Amino acid sequence: MGNAQKKCQDFNKKTKEELLDMMKTASSERHFQMYEAIRKGATDEEVFAATYEKAYFVQQMRELVELEEKMLKTPGRMPSDELLIQAKKDGFGDKYIAKILGIREKDVRAKRIEL
C-alpha cells in the first residue's frame, strides 16, 4: 500500500469537522482532506472558509466525489458504459475503479478498451 493511499484511508476515519479544521493549514494533504470532507457532506462554503480555494476548483472536486459515489452504487459489478467513460475522462485509473468496486483491474481495462 502506497503512502498516499494509506493517508487517504486515515482521512476516512476523521469527521467532517476534523477535516475542515485540518484543511485550514496548507499542506500536501489538503486536497485529500478536501475530497473526504466533501464526501462527508461539507458545503462549498465550508470548504472555502477553510481553504480559500476558488469556487470552480471546489465544484470540480465535488463532481469527482459525486461520480465516485455513483460508481460505488454498483459494488462487485462493472459500472455502466456511460459512467465508466465519464470516470476515465475525469482521470479515474483502472486500478482505482477496480479497487473501489471490488472487481478485477484487467476487467476494467478490457471494458475500457472495448468502449
Residues 49-86: tens digit of each pLDDT: 999 999 999 999 999 999 999 999 999 999 999 999 99
8 has a pLDDT exceeding 70:
no
35 contacts 61 by C-beta, under 8 angstroms: yes
Q: What is the pLDDT of residue 1?
A: 38
| Average confidence (pLDDT) over 44-49 | 96
Domain ranges of the chain: 1-63, 72-115
| Average confidence (pLDDT) over 86-111 | 96
- Mean pLDDT score of the chain: 92
